[in-house]
Amino acid sequence: MADLFDKIYKDKGPLGKWSEVAEGYFVFPKLEGPISNRMKFRGQDVITWSVNDYLGLANHPEVRKVDAEAAAEWGSAYPMGARMMSGHTSLHEKLQEELASFVDKEAAYLLNFGYQGMVSTIDALVSKKDVIVYDVDAHACIIDGVRLHLGQRFTYKHNDMESIEKNLQRAEKIAEQTGGGILVISEGVFGMRGEQGKLKEIVALKEKYNFRLLVDDAHGFGTLGKTGAGAGEEQGVQDQIDVYFATFAKSLASTGAFIAGDQEIMDYLKYNLRSQMFAKSLQMQLVIGALKRLEMLKTMPELKEKLWENVNALQNGLKDRGFDIGTTQSCVTPVYLKGSIPEAMALVNDLRENHGIFCSIVVYPVIPKGMILLRLIPTATHTLEDVEITLTAFSAIRERLENGTYKRLSAGVAEAMEK
C-alpha cells in the first residue's frame, strides 16, 4: 500500500510541475497598486492587460466610497449564517430583484462565489435520470458541476452545431428510457478564446429537441448587449435561456455571483443549492457594493462605450499588423503565436521587463503544443495610448520570436526542462 502523499512527492500535477521556473513570475505573479490600466510588477510600472475589471469599476471613487461605508457600517461578518438559517436580509432580496430585472428574468438568487454556485446549480438541476449535454470547452466550474452528476453526460465539440445535435439525439434516447430530461450548458463567452457561445443556434434546436439551457455568462454580463445584460441580449435570445448565470468577479469587479430565471425555478433552487444552503451568506458589504455597481452599470453607458473603444482599437490594431487573434467576438483578446514553452517564457519576460506590458500567457496543455497564447483583457480604464504602446511592443516581440532571439535566450531553460 502506498502512502497517500507518495503521488504528490512524485508529481506536482500538470501546472505544478512548472513551479520552479514559473512561480512568482508566470504564475502567482504579484500585481501591486490600485487596480487599473497601470499597475506595478516587481516594482516596475506595467500596462495591465490581465485583470477582468471590464468596466473599470474596481477602483472607481464612487465604488470605493460605497464599499468603505458599507464595511464601516456592517463589518465583514454580517449577516452570520446561511441564507436559509440566519443570513437573510432585505438587501439580499433587493439585489436579487434588481439583478433579475436587469437580465430580464422573473427572479434571481445570489451565490457566494460563481464557481461553487455553478457546481451547485448543475447539481440541483439534474437527477440521475437526466442527461447533460455541454460544450467541451466549458469552464472548470461547469466541468466540476457535471462531475457530480450521477446520470449520463455528453460533451459536444466546441460551438459545433452538428456535434450538439448528434449528442442531443443520443441524450434523447437515454432520457426517453429513464423518463428524465436534458440540460444543455454553454458559456455566453468562452473566456480563453473570446468566442460567444452559439446561443441563437442552440435555442433554435429547442424546436426539435426538448431541453433546458443553462448559460454561464461570466464574461458577457456587463460587456455585451445593448444594456450590458450579456450574450443572450446581444444575440436576442435572453428569453430562451432557462437559467442565466453571471459572476460579480468581472464586470462588477467584486465577489459573488447570481443565477436568474423563472420564479418557480429560482424558488426551487433556493431550497436545493447545497453551496448556498450550507455556506455563509454573501456579506453585506458585497451586497451593498453590488447594488452600487449594478446601478452604475445601468446608468453609465459611457463605461461600456469606453471599454469597446479600447477593445476595437486593440483588436483592429492587432489585425492590421497581421496578428492572429482567432475568432473572438467579445472583449477577450487572444493573440496566437508559434513557439515552444521556453520561447514563450523568454518572450513574456521581454514584454514585461523591456516593454512594460503585463498580459497572461497560456501554453500547452491548455492549448495545442507549439502554440503560445497571449491573452489581453481590455478595460474601460485603458487609454488609446496604452493600446499604441502595446501594439508597438507586440510587433517588436514577434520580430524577435521569428528571428530566433527567444530561442537563443531560452536555450538553457529548454535544456533544463528536457532533463
Ligand X SMILES: Cc1ncc(COP(=O)(O)O)c(C=O)c1O
Pick the closer one to ligand X by CB: 187 or 350.
187
Closest separation in Å from C-beta 143 to ligand X: 11
Using DSSP, state whether 39 is helix, strand or coil. strand
Neighbours of 266 (CB within 10 A): 21
Provide the binding-site residues for ligand X, judged by CB under 6 A.
113-115, 118, 139, 141, 187, 191, 216, 218, 247, 249, 257
CA atoms in the 13 A half-sphere facing the CB of 312: 6
Q: Least Å distance between CB 216 and ligand X?
A: 5
Specify the residue, 339 or 378, whose C-beta has the smaller distance to ligand X: 378
Residues 261 and 66 sit within 8 Å (Cβ to Cβ): no
Helix (H) or strand (E) holding 395: helix 384-402
Nearest residue (CB) to ligand X, 54 versus 394? 54
As a whole number of angstroms, the distance between CA 400 and CA 408 comes to 10
Cβ proximity to ligand X: between 26 and 190 the closer is 190
Q: What is the CA radius of gyration of the chain?
A: 22
Select 257 or 265, whichever has its Cβ closest to ligand X.
257
Shortest separation between residue 6's beta carbon and ligand X, angstroms:
32
| Residue 90 amino acid letter | S
Least distance (Å) between residue 405 CB and ligand X: 34
Shortest distance (Å) from residue 111 CB to ligand X? 8
CA dist 400 and 368 (Å) reads 22
Over the range 229-256, which residues count as b (16 or more CB within 10 Å of their CB) and which as e?
bbbbbbbebbebbbbbbbbbbbbbbbbb
Beta-carbon neighbour count of residue 143 at 10 Å?
Answer: 18
Task: Name the residue nearer to ligand X (CB basis): 285 or 340.
Answer: 285
DSSP state of 197: P
Nearest to 276 by CA among 413, 88, 51: 88
Q: Which strand ranges, in their side-by-side order, compose the sheet holding 153-156?
A: 107-111, 257-261, 243-247, 212-216, 182-187, 131-135, 153-156
Question: How many CB atoms are located within 10 Å of the residue 210 CB?
Answer: 11
| Least Å from the CB of residue 77 to ligand X | 21
Give 142 or 168: the residue with its C-beta nearer to ligand X.
Answer: 142
Residue of closest CB approach to ligand X = 114
Rounded to a whole number of angstroms, the minimum distance from the CB of residue 205 to ligand X is: 22
Smallest distance from ligand X to CB 419, Å: 35
Looking at beta carbons only, is 53 or 216 nearer to ligand X?
216
